[in-house]
Structure 1
Amino acid sequence: MRTSSTPPTPVRERLALAVLLTASFTLAVDFSILNVALPQIGADVGLALPDLQWIATSFAVCAAGLTLFFGRTADLFGRRRQFLAGMALLGAASVAGGLADVAWLLLAARVAQGVATAAVTPAALSLITTSFPEGPLRDRALGLNGALMAAGFTSGAVLGGLFAGLVSWRWAFFVNVVVAVAVLVVGPMVLRETRPTRRARLDAPGAVAITLALAAGVHGLTQAAEHSWAAPASWTALALAGALLAAFVLIERRVEHPLVPLGILARRTVGWGNAAGLVAFATETSLVFLLTLYLQEVRGLGPLQTGFVFAVLGAGTVLGGMVGPRVIGAVGGRRAIVLGLVAQAVATAPLALLGELPGWLVVLLALTFVGGVANLVAIVGFMVTATSGLPDDEQGLATGLTTMSQQVGIALGIPVMSAVVTATTPGGGTVLGLSVAIAVNAAVCLVAGVALAAALRPTGRPTGRPTGRRVARPAGRRVTG
C-alpha cells in the first residue's frame, strides 16, 4: 500500500473524523428527509400521487445498487479521491434538486444523490477503518459513525417536516450544498490518501451483474411495498435479481481479479457479521414505519408530532453508538451483536400490546429509547466484526459489503412488515395488523440473535475481539497522506 510521508497529528485525525462523520450523517438524513413533504413536492413539480414513490425509489435503487461497485473502486483508485468526488456530485445534485420545477429534473437529481451516496459511504467508512488500527480507537470511531447514521435516519423526518412547514421543502436539498462545500474545503487538508502499489483490473462484468441485481432487488422490494408481493412488477424484478445474482457468482469464480473474492464471504466474521447488520437495519427501520402507522392511524398524531416522538428513539441510537464500543471492549464484537439483538427484541415485543391502552405514550417512549440503544450496540458490533482481520487493501470491499447490508436491510424491512400488516388487517383491523407485525419484528430479532450466537461461536481460531484479557496484536497501518 502506497502512502505519503506526512505524519498524522491528533488535531488532524479529529478533523478528518469530523469531516467523515458529518458526511455520513448528511447522507443518512437524505434517505428520509423528503418523505413527509412528498405530496407538496409532487404538487410543485407535477408528479401524480402514484408516482411520488419514485422520489424515494430512484434514490434507494442507486444508493444500494452501486455501493458494492464503489466500495471496490475506492480500494483500487483512491478512497479520498472518491470521497471528495462523491461529495462534489452530492452538492451539484442538491442544487439541481432544490431548483427543480419539473419532475424529470427532480428525479434526475435524486438519482445523482443516490450515486453520490453509493460512492461516499464506503469510501468514508474505509477511510475510518484504515486511519485507525483495530482496537478501541477504531471501535469508538465506528460507534460514532453508526450512531450518527442511525440518528440521521430518524431525524430526517423531523428535519423534513420543519423545512416543509416553516420554510420550503427545497431546503431539504439546499442544506446538502452547505455541507458539501464545507467538506470540500476542509477535506483535502485533513484526509489522507492510500492507493495500492499495484493496481488490479476492475471486474467490469461482475460489477455490472451485481449492480443490476441489487438495483432490481431494491426495485422489486419497493414495488412490493407499494402494491403487493403478487404484483407482476414485484416478482418479475425479484426473479431478475435472483438470476443476476447467480450470474454474478459464476463470474466471480472465473475472473482473475474478482470484484468480490468469494473467499472473503466464507469468513464467518464477514458473512455472518453482514447478516447481523442486515437484520439490525431491517428490523429497526421497519419498526419506525410500523410505529408511524400506529401514531398517525391509531393515535391520530400529525407528521410533525410523529417526528418529534421519534426524536427519543434517535437519542437512544446516539447513546447506543457511544456505549457500543465499551460493550465490545467488555464482551467482544460477537457477543455485542447477540446482546444487542436480544435486548432489541425484549424492548420491541411489549409494543405489540399497546393497542388503544391508556398511558401508551410513556411506555412507547421508554421502550423505543431502550430499543434504539440496543439496536446501535448490535450495529456497532456488526461494523467492527465485519471489518476486522482484513488488510487495508480490502477495507473498501469490506465497508462496501457493510454499506450494502445496511441499505438492503432498509429496503427489505418495510415491504416485509407492510405485507404482514396487509395480510392481517382485513379481518382484524389496523390495530391487530400492527400488533402482529410488531410481534414478528421482535421475533426476527430474537431468532437472529440466537442464530448468530451459534454461528459465531468461538472455535480454535478467534473470530472477533478477545474477551476477558488483552493480547498483543500488530498496531496496524496508520494511513498517512
Structure 2
Amino acid sequence: MNLHRTQPGPPTPGPRPAAVLTVLAAAQFTVMVATSIVNVALPQIRAGVGLSDGGTTWVVNAYGLAFGALLLAGGRAADLFGRRRVLTAGLALFAGASLAAGLATSPGVLIAARVVQGLGAAAIAPAALALAMDLYPPGPARGRALGVWGAVSGAGGAGGVLLGGALTQAWGWPWIFHAVALGTVLVLVAVAALLPRAAGRGGGAFDLLGTTTVTLALTCLVWGLTTARGAGWTDGRVLAALGSAAALLAVFAVIEPRRPNALIPPRLFATGRVAAGNLLMALLGSVWIALFFFLPLYQQQVLGSGPLATGAGQLPLAAANMLGSTLAPRISRRIGATATVTAALLTEATGLLWLSRISADGSYLADVLAPSVLVGLGLSVAFVQLTAFAVDGLPPQDAGLAGGLVNTTRQVGGAIGLAALATLAGSVTGRASAHAPHLEALTAGYRAAFTVSAAVLAATAVLALLLARCTGPRIAVEPARPAAEPRTLRTSRPY
C-alpha cells in the first residue's frame, strides 16, 4: 500500500481587521451605553422597584463605582491571561448582569446587578482597546482606528440617553437593561466567530497585593465622591472614605516599585507621555461625565421635555462627536497633535461657556442645539488624541494595562468632577431659591456647573501646551510614518 502524504493547502485567511475593529468598537459601545442609559429612566425605575432617594442615586453610582475601581485589574488580567479570554468573560458577565437588572423586583437585586455590570465592563473596556491597537501598527492606520474608537465612545454616551428614553417610553424601564443584554450577546457571538482563540498568554504573575490595594483605594475614593453629592463633604462617612483612599494610595505608591511583577510597572511612565495623557484625560473626564448628567436634567426639569424628546436632543451632539472622531487623525496630521488637542479643548470650552447662558424660559433650539454641537466636536477630537497619547509607544505586553489606566483616569476624573460640580450646582440653586422661582434657581445651578466646566477645559488646554514641552513634541500617534496596509490577524498572537 502506498501512503501518500497530504500536501498542506494554502493558509486560511484571517478576518479582515476592519471587521474585527467593528466588533471591538461594538463592545466599547455597550460599555458606554450602560453609563448613561438609566439617566432618563430613573423616576420610572424608582417607582418600579421601590427605591428611596439614596437608592435611586446608587442605580447610577453602583455601575460607575465597580467600573472605575476594577479597570486597572481588568487591564492587567487581559495582558496576563489573554485579551480575547478576558473580553469574552467580561461580555458574558455583562450580559447576565444586564438581564438580571431588567428582571429585578427589589432595590438590592437591581443595585447588585449594576455592580456586576460594572465588573464586566472593567474587563471589556481595556481588553477591547488593547485588541484594537494590536490590529494596526503605529501610524495613520492606528490613528483612524482611534478615531473609530472615539466615535463609538461618544456616541455610546449620547445614544444611551436616546435609547433609554425611547425604550422607557415605549415598553417600560426593564427594557433598557434587556436591550443591553441582547446587544451584548450579539457582540459576544461576533467576538467568538471573528477573533482567533488564544495560542498562549502573556508572561508574568498577577500582582495580587498591588491590585487589591489600588482597587480598595479606588473603591473608597469613588464611593466617597459619589456619596458626597448627597451627604455633603463634611459627612463622617465621606471623610473616612476619602481618608482611607489617600492612605491606601500611599501604601500602593510605597510597595509597588518593589514588586517584581508590579501592577503598574515603572516602564509605563518612562517617557512621561503616559502620565501626561492620563492627567489630561482625567480633567477631560471630569467635564465629560458631568455634561451628560446636567444637560438631560436641564432638558427635563426646566424645559419640560419627556424621556424620548430628551434622548432625541442628544442626537446632534452624538453626530458631532462621530464627525470629530473621524476627522481627528486627519486634523492631527495637518496641524500637529499638540495644536489639535489644544484647539479641541478650547472648542469644547467655548460650547460649555455658551451653555452657561441657558435660561429658565429658554428652548432647546435657542439654548442647547448649537453649543452641544461645539461640545461634541471638541470632546471627540480631544478624546481621540489623548487616548492615543496614553497608549502610544508602549510595549505590547502593557497594552491592556494602558487601556485600563486611561479608562480609570477618565472614570475617576468623572467621579471627582461630577461630585464637585453637583455640589456647586446644588449650593447655587439653594441660595437662589431664597429669592427666585424654582425653575430659575435650578437653571442658575446648571449655569454655574457649565461655567466652571468651561474654565476647567480652558486650563486643561494651557496644561496640554506646557506638558507637550516637557514630554516631547507630540501628543498622539506619530503621523509622519508612511501608511501601511493593516495586518491580518495572526493566530499566534496571545489574544
Shared fold (TM-score, shorter chain, > 0.5): yes
For the structure 1 residues 199 and 466, does the alpha-carbon distance in structure 2 shift closer, same or farther, using more than 3 Å as the test? closer
Aligned counterpart in structure 2 of residue 43 of structure 1, from 30, 44, 47: 47
Distance in 2 between the 1:405 and 1:322 partners?
23
1:90 is aligned to: 94
1:313 is aligned to: 317
Aligned counterpart in structure 2 of residue 182 of structure 1, from 164, 186, 189: 186
Deviation at 1:473, TM superposition (A): 10
Aligned counterpart in structure 2 of residue 330 of structure 1, from 330, 334, 337: 334
**Corresponding letter in the other structure for 1:118:** A
Cα contact 1:268–1:456 (8 A) shared by 2: no
Deviation at 1:444, TM superposition (A): 0.5
Deviates more, 1:20-29 or 1:230-239: 230-239
Distance in 2 between the 1:340 and 1:44 partners?
41
2:388 is aligned to: 384
Distance in 2 between the 1:290 and 1:316 partners?
19
Distance in 1 between the 2:192 and 2:364 partners?
50
Look up the SS of the partner of 1:457 in the other structure: helix
TM-score (norm 2): 0.89
Distance in 2 between the 1:415 and 1:257 partners?
34
Distance in 1 between the 2:44 and 2:130 partners?
38
Aligned counterpart in structure 2 of residue 34 of structure 1, from 24, 38, 42: 38
Look up the SS of the partner of 1:176 in the other structure: helix
Query: What RMSD over aligned residues (CA atoms) do the two structures have, in Å?
Result: 2.5
Distance in 1 between the 2:96 and 2:302 partners?
41
Query: Following superposition of structure 1 onto structure 2, how do residues 262-341 of structure 1 map, counting pairs within 5 Å?
Result: 262-341=266-345
TM-score (norm 1): 0.91
Deviation at 1:463, TM superposition (A): 6.0
Distance in 2 between the 1:89 and 1:315 partners?
30
Distance in 1 between the 2:66 and 2:282 partners?
18
Cα contact 1:91–1:177 (8 A) shared by 2: yes
Q: Which has the larger radius of gyration?
A: 2
Deviation at 1:44, TM superposition (A): 2.7
For the structure 1 residues 86 and 334, does the alpha-carbon distance in structure 2 shift closer, same or farther, using more than 3 Å as the test? same
Look up the SS of the partner of 2:137 in the other structure: coil
**Corresponding letter in the other structure for 1:442:** A
Aligned counterpart in structure 2 of residue 243 of structure 1, from 244, 247, 250: 247
For 1:356-384, what per-residue CA distance to the aligned partner results, in whole angstroms no more than 9, with x for missing partners?
57677235211110111111100000111
**Corresponding letter in the other structure for 2:126:** P
2:437 is aligned to: none
Cα contact 1:79–1:193 (8 A) shared by 2: no
Aligned counterpart in structure 1 of residue 461 of structure 2, from 449, 453, 458: 449
For the structure 1 residues 115 and 359, does the alpha-carbon distance in structure 2 shift closer, same or farther, using more than 3 Å as the test? closer
1:439 is aligned to: 451
Does the alignment pair 1:365 with 2:369?
A: yes
For the structure 1 residues 110 and 398, does the alpha-carbon distance in structure 2 shift closer, same or farther, using more than 3 Å as the test? same
Q: Percent of aligned pairs with the same residue?
A: 35
What are the ranges of 5 or more consecutive residues in structure 1 without an aligned counterpart?
none
Look up the SS of the partner of 2:156 in the other structure: helix
Distance in 2 between the 1:266 and 1:226 partners?
40
Distance in 2 between the 1:328 and 1:460 partners?
15
Cα contact 1:79–1:123 (8 A) shared by 2: yes
Distance in 1 between the 2:264 and 2:363 partners?
51
Distance in 2 between the 1:150 and 1:296 partners?
21
Aligned length: 474
